[in-house]
Amino acid sequence: MLAARPSVAVPAAEPGVPNHVAIIMDGNGRWAASRGLPRALGHKAGADAVRRAIEASAKAGVRWLTLFAFSSENWHRPADEVRDLTALLRFYLRAEVAALAREGVRLRVIGERSRFGPDIAQAIEAAEATTAHGKSLNLNVALSYGARAEIAAAARALAEEARAGRLDPATIDEATFGRFLFTADMPDPDLIIRTSGEQRLSNFLLWQAAYAEFVFLDVLWPDFGAADLEAAIGAYRRRERRYGARGA
C-alpha cells in the first residue's frame, strides 16, 4: 500500500498565482548536444536550473512545486547515462539539503525510490527529515516515477483492502482512490509546464492533471530561468478555468 504522508500547513497562493506548479524538465541532452558536450554535463546544467526554478517559484508565491526528474522509463537509457544521473542525484541530495532547510523548503520524493539502491533511499529519507518543517514551499521531486504504475499500484492496494474486509468496494470514489496515490496529501497541479518544445505528458501525473492548465515552452531545461516561469504564470493568469462546469 502507498503510505500517506502527514499533511503540511502551507498557506494557499495569492489570487492569480498557481498554488501548485508541476514541471516536466526536458532538453538536457539536446542542450549538451548543441554545444558538443557529453550528456552528463547537460544533466549537471539541468540540476543548476532546478535551483533557479525553486528560487523563482518561492519568489512568485507558488506554494507547491513538483519536478519530474527521473521517470520509470529512464531506467532503459544507456547504463553510463543512468550511472551519471544517479551520481548527480546522490551529490545534490547531500549538497542542497542544508540550503533547502534554511530557506524553508520542504523536500519530498514521489516514485519508486527503492530502485535507486539503499544508499540513495537513505539519503532521500534523511533529506525529507531534515526539511520536514519547511513552510515556505513544498518541493516534490518525482524520481523513478510513472503515472500508470502509480495508478496500477493504487488499484492493487485498494483491491487488497477490499479483500481483507477493510474497505467496501461500493464506497470507492475519486477521493478514496486518491488517498492511495503518491500525492495523497497534495493538491492537484494548477499549472503544468514542459520545456524543450515537446507537447505531451510522458506518463506524468495523469490522474492529478485532470484540470491542470498546460504551458509548453521552447526553452531547453538547462536554460530555464525566472523569466520563463513568469511567462508561464502570465499565460496561466490570462486563462479562465472552468473545470468542465460550463461551456465557452
pLDDT in tens, 11-28: 666 768 999 999 999 999
Least confident stretch, 50-64, 137-151, 161-175, 232-246? 232-246
For residue 84, what pLDDT is reported?
84
pTM of this structure: 0.90
Active site residue 26: yes
Domain range annotation of the chain? 20-237
Per the CB < 8 A criterion, the answer to whether 140 and 65 are in contact is: yes
pLDDT at 141 over 60: yes
The amino acid sitting at 10 is V
39 is in an annotated binding site: yes
Buried b (16+ CB within 10 A) or exposed e, 184-207: eebebbbbbbbbbeeeebebbbeb
43 is in an annotated binding site: yes
pLDDT in tens, 214-229: 999 999 999 999 999 9
41 is in an annotated binding site: no
Mean pLDDT of 189-205: 97
Instruction: Work out whether strand 137-145 and strand 105-110 pair parallel, antiparallel, or are unpaired.
Output: parallel
**CB neighbours (10 Å) of residue 245?**
6
Top-confidence residue, 68 or 242:
68
52 is in an annotated binding site: no
Q: How confident is the model at residue 241 (pLDDT cuts 50, 70, 90)?
A: confident
Mean pLDDT of 116-123: 91
* 6 exposure class (CB count in 10 Å sphere: 0-12, 13-18, 19+): exposed
pLDDT in tens, 39-85: 999 999 999 999 999 999 999 999 999 999 989 888 988 898 888 88
Least confident stretch, 4-13, 23-32, 218-227, 239-248? 4-13
77 is in an annotated binding site: yes
63 is in an annotated binding site: no
Choose the catalytic residue: 74, 185, 203, 223: 74
223 is in an annotated binding site: no
For residue 199, what pLDDT is reported?
97
Active site residue 218: no
Choose the catalytic residue: 19, 26, 190, 228: 26
Per the CB < 8 A criterion, the answer to whether 115 and 71 are in contact is: no
The hierarchical CATH code for the domain 20-237 is: 3.40.1180.10
